[in-house]
Amino acid sequence: MIATNIYKRHLDKCGANYTPLSPLSFIERTAHVYPDYPSVVYGERRYVWAETYARCRRLASALSARGIGLGDTVSIIAANIPELYEAHFGVPMAGAVLNAINTRLDAPVIAFILGHAEAKVLLVDPEFSSVVKEALKQVDRPDLLIVDIEDPSFDGGERLGGLTYDALLAEGDPDYAWSLPGDEWDAITLNYTSGTTGNPKGVVYHHRGAALNAQSDILDWDMPKHSVYLWTLPMFHCNGWCFPWAMAANAGISVCLRAVRAEPIYAAFRDEKVTHFCGAPIVLNMLAHAPDHLKDFDHQIKVMTAGAPPPAAVIEAMEAMGVEVTHVYGLTETYGPSVVCAWKDEWNIKEPDERAALKVRQGVRYTALSGLMVADPDTLEPVPADGETMGEIFMQGNVVMKGYLKNPEATDKAFTGGWFASGDLGVMHPDGYIALKDRSKDIIISGGENISSVEIEGILYKHPAVMEAAVVARPDEKWGETPCAFVELKPDATVTEAELIAFCRDNMAHFKAPKTVVFGTLPKTSTGKVQKFALRDQARALA
């Protein structure tokens, strides 16, 4: 007898029971349900959902009328302003792929991206017109449509094309009948990695992953409906960790911000009654060290942090100010956050330092992620959950990128045995929470022992004189490598090399303590991370 599965008979997908997952459906619903609720705020400019939705439809319609559609790239280089928010909907509503370019890149890299992405349109914020002008000289693309965004609140910049963003919107239909993608696997955005590990690679996201991760953002952060979200995290970075779409699903308010400085951030906390914001640990550190008179708010604020290991001292400082920290971890390749240090109520009774020690761990799967493991990169055998055995961190599921654009070799290398290899090293704790120890290329091997630079940095941050710290390997004849710390001190603080080394030795195994300390400003990448490769060069020169 032929075995049959009764659930396979006459139970097929059809238009009634299956539509592609896409975050575009979120804005349509929210504009329908909450048309007059605030959506986007930028200084004096205030929109409600009906307006934001109409502007996105105009953009889609205008792009479409100009022949932009499926498989085309629309690039944008902009600060966190409403136009960049709208592009997250208007561009894919036209069927095209949004490529938000990192605003801190230099002209040759921008030129590389425009060429590699085969961009058809480039939307330009006036703040970046001069670097774009330089980049355009280096790309041979006379057909590229340049659209200048105008921002009366920004002083400077120049027009590069013959069309403004508002004029483009005016060409469009506010009632444009856009449609969901034919396939949820269709590309929605293209994000270039910052290139700290080589040439920028074009990470492609699909509608399905974008919808799922945006929903996880809300779920894994317990975001109440109509949250007030401050845009401190660049929207160009992994599409702002999917928060443009999350805020549409949440029917929340996006408070746009051009400059990520303590003063406007604290002013927004107070004036807009911000409830949520995201930022790399360096942003949290900046806020913690801002003058006290700025810290003038008395409502509950939550921050989500990732991008680099958050030192326990920074978490403690934020929480002492009444800002609740949620620690997440991910990569451009995983739509931003895909792992969260899911908090447990029973941890609330612990002392602040114990709470921070639990929270510096990267944690467990985001709701949208299917698999997370720490494993031997050669055998893919998971390491024991002992909190000590190091392995590589692997992810699996719908919030792992489609792959790298036009780069099958890199895609094949990243996907191994059904898993995405993160290039990060970590351990699995007995309670199932992972902790990241280093990027594989950052680990220090001294006398045959692995030393985690992250662990040493965590100790250095606890010293009252230290503002920022980064540790790299310094070549050493006897030990192979020794830890070399680069330290930026707080204004007016003083401490000697010997004192800092002694402080580390008092707080960790002696062999792990840095042997050298160099004082000075730390070089940063375009995403605000410390440029460890530059520090490694400096450490090598010392040797």
By beta-carbon proximity to ligand ATP, the closer residue of 265 and 282 is 282
Q: Does 100 bind ligand ATP (CB under 6 A)?
A: no
125, 186, 424, 455: which one binds ligand ATP (CB under 6 A): 424
Report the C-alpha gap between 72 and 121 in whole angstroms.
Answer: 9
Structure tokens at 356: 């921070």
Closest approach, Cβ 313 to ligand ATP, in A, equals 15
DSSP string, 222-267: TPPTT-EEE--S-TTSHHHHTHHHHHHHHT-EEE-BS---HHHHHH
Q: Does 73 bind ligand ATP (CB under 6 A)?
A: no
Q: Does 436 bind ligand ATP (CB under 6 A)?
A: yes
Closest approach, Cβ 65 to ligand ATP, in A, equals 35
Report the C-alpha gap between 539 and 535 in whole angstroms.
Answer: 6
Report the C-alpha gap between 459 and 324 in whole angstroms.
Answer: 22
Binding mask 49-68 for ligand ATP (x = CB under 6 A): --------------------
Q: Does 101 bind ligand ATP (CB under 6 A)?
A: no
Q: Does 439 bind ligand ATP (CB under 6 A)?
A: yes
Q: Does 220 bind ligand ATP (CB under 6 A)?
A: no
Nearest by Cα to 379 from 409, 421, 408, 411 = 421
By beta-carbon proximity to ligand ATP, the closer residue of 193 and 254 is 193
Residue 481 has phi, psi (to 5 degrees) of -140, 150
297, 390, 527, 528: which one binds ligand ATP (CB under 6 A): 527
Amino acid letter, 426? G
Q: Does 199 bind ligand ATP (CB under 6 A)?
A: no
Q: Does 21 bind ligand ATP (CB under 6 A)?
A: no
Q: Does 190 bind ligand ATP (CB under 6 A)?
A: no
By beta-carbon proximity to ligand ATP, the closer residue of 195 and 264 is 195
Report the C-alpha gap between 431 and 364 in whole angstroms.
Answer: 10
126, 309, 397, 514: which one binds ligand ATP (CB under 6 A): 309
The separation between the first and the last C-alpha atoms of the chain, rounded to the nearest angstrom, is 76
Residue 304 Cα to chain centre, angstroms: 10
Residue 47 has phi, psi (to 5 degrees) of -115, 155
By beta-carbon proximity to ligand ATP, the closer residue of 55 and 237 is 237
Report the C-alpha gap between 464 and 171 in whole angstroms.
Answer: 57
Sign of CA dihedral 414, 418, 420, 425: negative
Q: Does 329 bind ligand ATP (CB under 6 A)?
A: yes
Closest approach, Cβ 424 to ligand ATP, in A, equals 5
Choices 24-32, 125-133, 193-201, 314-322; region in contact with ligand ATP by CB under 6 A: 193-201
306, 390, 434, 459: which one binds ligand ATP (CB under 6 A): 306
Q: Does 196 bind ligand ATP (CB under 6 A)?
A: yes
Report the C-alpha gap between 225 and 230 in whole angstroms.
Answer: 15
Closest approach, Cβ 164 to ligand ATP, in A, equals 32
CB count in 10 Å sphere of residue 13: 8
Choices 12-20, 27-35, 63-71, 329-337; region in contact with ligand ATP by CB under 6 A: 329-337
Cα 458 to Cα 4, 193, 337, 421, 449, distances in angstroms: 58, 26, 21, 25, 19
Report the C-alpha gap between 503 and 508 in whole angstroms.
Answer: 9
Q: Which residues pair with 445 in a beta bridge?
A: 450
* Interface positions with ligand ATP (CB under 6 A): 193-197, 306-309, 327, 329, 331-332, 362, 422-424, 436, 439, 527, 529
